[in-house]
Every structure is written in structure tokens, then in C-alpha cells.
Amino acid sequence: MPPAAIGSFKIDHDLGHDGMRPVFVVADTRMDRRIAIQTLCD
């Protein structure tokens, strides 16, 4: 389970997997927008 927030990014939900890496929808609290991020390490 990932942390609830990473820096200014608050994790909203799991979007799926791209290959073997998870992709998450996150809220960028500084820019007030939603983006998708992919983790680079497990």
C-alpha cells in the first residue's frame, strides 16, 4: 500500500497497471489539479 501523500501529491485512487508498475490518480495540491503518476520502484 502506498503512502497517502508524497510531497504535494495526495493519492486519490489506483488507476491500474502499465506493464508491471502501478499507476495512481493523484491530486497536486500546489497546482489544484488531478494527474496520473506511475511509481518507479516497489
pLDDT in tens, 1-42: 557 888 899 999 999 988 888 899 999 999 999 999 988 875
d(CA 7, CA 40) in angstroms, rounded, equals: 16
How far apart, in whole angstroms, are the C-alpha atoms of residue 20 and residue 30?
29
pTM of the model: 0.71
Domain ranges in the chain are: 5-38
Stated length of the chain? 42
Q: Are 40 and 21 within 8 A, CB to CB?
A: yes
Q: State the pLDDT at residue 34.
A: 95
pLDDT for 31: 93
pLDDT at 33: 96
